[in-house]
Amino acid sequence: MGAFHAPRYIVNCRFIDVSAGPLSDTFVGGKRRHINRLFVTLRSGTGRTADQLRVLIDSVNSVWDSIIGGGGWEKQLRSMYIKGSIDAAKEGGFHLPLPGYVEQWVKDNTAQCRTLAAEGDPDFVQLGGEIETRPEFQK
- The dotted CATH code for 35-86 is 3.30.429
* pLDDT(95) > 90: yes
Q: What is the mean pLDDT of the chain?
A: 84
pLDDT, tens only, 17-39: 777 677 677 777 888 777 788 88
DSSP assignment of 68-126 equals T--SGGGGSEEEEEEEEEE---EETTEEPPPTT-HHHHHHHHHHHHHHHHHTT-HHHHH
pTM for this model (two decimals): 0.67
pLDDT, tens only, 52-73: 889 989 998 999 999 887 778 7
What pLDDT score does 1 carry?
43
Q: Per-domain residue ranges for the chain?
A: 35-86, 89-137
